[in-house]
Structure 1
Amino acid sequence: MPAGTTLVGGGYDSKPVHLGNGANADTVNANAPSASKPNTWAVRMDGGRAKVYAMCTT
């Protein structure tokens, strides 16, 4: 997060794990401010990958 800014929100773009028939086999377990790292956004998935976005303001 850039100096002088505050976290105001966040989100993610995910690449979930799929079954052979194309059904989604993954779950997003967290999409919220990080409990362990102040002013950061956290996303946790069962098995896929996610690109995390943090929104900040001055």
Structure 2
Amino acid sequence: LEQESGFFFNMKHFEDQVQAGEWEEVERYLGGFTKVEDNRYSMKIFFEIRKQKYLEALD
């Protein structure tokens, strides 16, 4: 798919944003490749991102 579309998922960028707690950017970037409703794996990862965002907001 990456070869066909010319787009690639930059795991380093994604990991850097996760480690920095940039949850809006994490969701925006991931949303360029998959949507929550695409499949159960997408739903799970978006859930985990939002859960972490919520937990950090409680601190």
Q: Flag whether TM exceeds 0.5 (same fold).
A: no
Which of the five TM-score ranges fits, normalised by the shorter chain? under 0.3
More strand by share: 1
The normalised TM-score by structure 1 is 0.27
Higher helix content, 1 or 2: 2
Higher relative contact order (CA 8 A, sep 6+): 1
Normalising to structure 2: TM-score of the pair? 0.27
